[in-house]
Amino acid sequence: MTLAVLAYVLLLEAGLILSTTCRGAGSIGGSDDARSRSGSDGQGGKGGAPGRPVWPAPRIGFPRGPGGGGSSKRETQSKKPVRKIITFKPGVSALEYNTILESVGGKLVKELPFVDSIVVEFPPEAAEGEELQQILSSDNVIAVEDDYEVQLLCFFRSSLNYDRQVVPWGVKRIGAPDAWQVGTGKGVKVGVVDTGVDTGHPDLKQNVKAAVDVTGSGSGMDYHGHGTHVAGTIAAVNNEIGVVGVAPEAEIYAVRAFDRYGRAQISTIVEGVRWCVENGMHVVNMSFGSKDESTALRMAIDKGLAKGMIFVAAAGNSGRDNSVVFPARHPGVVAVSAISENDRIASFSSRGPEVDVTAPGDKIVSTYKNGGYKSMSGTSMATPHVTGAVAVILSANPGITSRGVLAKLMEGAVRLPGLSRNEQGSGLVDVSRSVGASPEKKEAGAEDKAIPA
């Protein structure tokens, strides 16, 4: 299964998957049948004929998150306007189309030209009305989807204080300190699409190269805490204080797509991923997810994959089998489950055939907003361990392709006894093995140059 992520990247590189159309996205399913998509709402061009619009089933309220975040029930009434993302065939004038949509009460919220989409708000009665469905059944429309709310995938625990630097258990468990003799993530650009980052945090600021905002708030500052925690696991500075990240010299580019309450619409996530693709990020951390698919986000990610970027995402916090969330379950995205310190699957972690690797995700200490430190749990916390590992592999292998990085990541992973394939994918990430820095690898004579760069 974990080879699916490699196969998908290969197909993208070979141009066999059209990354910018729903047809291509539809063919993804075909190229990767083993990747079960249970839990999806069935929209998103998997089964429908190419070019046919996909009208999602009427939904009541927003999806309940697979943990953390805490979606509210306030959307369950139907008085509020309904927001849709409408994706067009390349070349179709979305704005021209919008004038037609205005005739049924549609109001343009924003344009997403990166993925040939617009976000339009409709009065509730118009949103489910026949007239609109007829307009959107045009061949010019690739997909119609709810602009749904995406969940962060974490639980909060206690605040912490340190007199001197500690190496968090997860950073140790994946072999990061051994790997630093070979690579520290230096020069690797890591996009963290999240709640922003505490740009002044003494254990991070040296590595935070930018903190941008795609929410419209005008600031990439983290007023929530999740993004700062994720950033710390990736690249907290190796100094005298606090904690240290997996890739302590990687460059953090915080892309604030979630508000201070940890809320984001999927269209804002699309904007965040667009920023990462257009600004040359090498790897993108996505510690969020939803049970629902999104054609627009798939298209944005596919554009990044086609450029050789690597995307790492949280498997979800449902604690059940066959429950890996989107975008983690999107082929080509590295899906990360979570283990506890005793090497068991974390009780909250989603599992499923889409899981590529597992990483520490329970009681993880890292940086937090306002210069603090906090212990948090969730597949949100496992994901940045893998993102950091990718950064270390990249810095240790100049010129390596994304395919090469993924191969090293998977081959270095250690199968944990007692965990099923659905729970751990290729196994627990071990970045020291992935870069050929682990003691046994050195003794055995490095075959780590076998992957062509």
249 lines the binding site for Ca ion (CB under 5 A):
no
List 201, 224, 226, 385, catalytic entry: 226
Taking Cα atoms as reference points, which of 131, 107, 133, 130 lies closest to residue 118? Answer: 107
**Three-class SS state of 190:** strand
181 lines the binding site for Ca ion (CB under 5 A):
no
Residues 6 or more apart from 102 whose CB is under 8 A from it?
none
158 lines the binding site for Ca ion (CB under 5 A):
no
- Concatenated DSSP letters of 260-325: TTS-EEHHHHHHHHHHHHHTT-SEEEE-EEBSS--HHHHHHHHHHHHTT-EEEEE--S--SSS-PP
- Interface size with Ca ion, residues (CB under 5 A): 6
**In the complex, minimum distance from the CB of residue 201 to Ca ion, in angstroms, rounded to a whole number:** 10
226 noted as active-site residue? yes
Token digits for 133? 């469905």
List 146, 178, 194, 356, catalytic entry: 194
User: Which range binds Ca ion by CB under 5 A, 154-162, 198-206, 318-326, 341-349?
Assistant: 198-206
239 lines the binding site for Ca ion (CB under 5 A):
yes
206 lines the binding site for Ca ion (CB under 5 A):
no
242 lines the binding site for Ca ion (CB under 5 A):
yes
Q: Nearer to Ca ion by C-beta: 140 or 165?
A: 165
Q: Nearer to Ca ion by C-beta: 225 or 327?
A: 225
Q: Nearer to Ca ion by C-beta: 104 or 234?
A: 234
User: Which range binds Ca ion by CB under 5 A, 107-115, 239-247, 392-400, 402-410?
Assistant: 239-247
Q: Nearer to Ca ion by C-beta: 27 or 366?
A: 366
User: Which range binds Ca ion by CB under 5 A, 118-126, 186-194, 235-243, 363-371?
Assistant: 235-243
Cα of 198 vs its chain's centroid, Å: 20
Going by their DSSP bridges, the two strands 372-377 and 364-368 should be labelled as: antiparallel
Q: Nearer to Ca ion by C-beta: 4 or 204?
A: 204
380 noted as active-site residue? yes
198 noted as active-site residue? no
Count other C-beta atoms under 10 Å from residue 34's C-beta.
10
Cα of 160 vs its chain's centroid, Å: 27
What count of residues does the chain have?
A: 453
**In the complex, minimum distance from the CB of residue 205 to Ca ion, in angstroms, rounded to a whole number:** 11
Q: Nearer to Ca ion by C-beta: 193 or 244?
A: 244
Count other C-beta atoms under 10 Å from residue 52's C-beta.
17
202 lines the binding site for Ca ion (CB under 5 A):
no
Distance CA 28, CA 32 (A): 6
User: Which range binds Ca ion by CB under 5 A, 22-30, 50-58, 230-238, 387-395?
Assistant: 230-238
> CA–CA distance from 374 to each of 160, 229, 309, 369 (Å)?
5, 8, 30, 9
**In the complex, minimum distance from the CB of residue 238 to Ca ion, in angstroms, rounded to a whole number:** 6
Distance CA 143, CA 85 (A): 8
List 19, 377, 380, 434, catalytic entry: 380
User: Which range binds Ca ion by CB under 5 A, 105-113, 159-167, 336-344, 428-436?
Assistant: 159-167
Q: Nearer to Ca ion by C-beta: 125 or 240?
A: 240
**In the complex, minimum distance from the CB of residue 367 to Ca ion, in angstroms, rounded to a whole number:** 8
- Concatenated DSSP letters of 204-259: TTTTEEEEEESSSSS--B-SSSHHHHHHHHHH---SSSS---SSTTPEEEEEE-S-
Distance CA 425, CA 120 (A): 39
CA atoms within 13 A on the CB side of 441: 21
Q: Exactly one of 165, 206, 322, 340 binds Ca ion (CB under 5 A); which one? A: 165
> Within positions 294 to 333, which residues make up the interface with Ca ion, using CB under 5 A?
none
Q: Exactly one of 41, 147, 198, 203 binds Ca ion (CB under 5 A); which one? A: 203
List residues with catalytic annotation: 194, 226, 380
Q: Which residues bind Ca ion (CB under 5 A)?
A: 165, 203, 237, 239, 242, 244
